[in-house]
Amino acid sequence: MRCPYCGNDDTQVKDSRPTEDSGAIRRRRVCNACGGRFTTFERVQLRDLTVVKKTGRKVPFDREKLARSINTALRKRSVDPERVERMISGIVRQLESLGDVEITSDQIGEYVMEGLKNLDDVAFVRFASVYKNFSAADDFRSFLQELAQDKPGRGEAQE
């Protein structure tokens, strides 16, 4: 691991422990050249995944891009960041356990939709509007009607 202070590659791990969500390892390191101390967070990656886009183009899977799109849908929503991180880690684990190194962007989208549906309805609709390429207000109406039918008791007038 490269030292952030002097750029030296010769660093030594002084302490290593799992993070609270067990999805990463927190390591305290020291640089053998300058003596600088720093912390790294490292994730276990089961395999290198490749995303097959709708156009057929192939790109490496990027966990940070997944997190950004989910956090965009969750913007200004009061959802516990730990729940969001658990959802993202769960999606990545599901993708890695599919047994194939190539995954489609549609597969990722479906996992995100399922996760957001259980996490926050507004974020779910926001993500769906982009994922399903809504182009008119009627698209939202139809989607919300389907959502109301899937969740009994929602969208009905309270007496």
pTM: predicted TM-score of the whole model, two decimal places: 0.66
Residue 83 to residue 119: CA distance in whole angstroms: 8
What is the residue-averaged pLDDT of the chain?
Answer: 87
Q: Determine the average pLDDT of the residues in 140-154.
A: 77
Residue 96 to residue 90: CA distance in whole angstroms: 10
For 90, the token pair is 């769960």
Q: What is the pLDDT of residue 44?
A: 63
Higher pLDDT: 56 or 141? It is: 56
| Neighbour tally for 73: CB within 10 Å | 23
Q: Using pLDDT thresholds of 50, 70 and 90, give the confidence band for residue 45.
A: low
Nearest to 51 by CA among 91, 78, 79, 13: 91
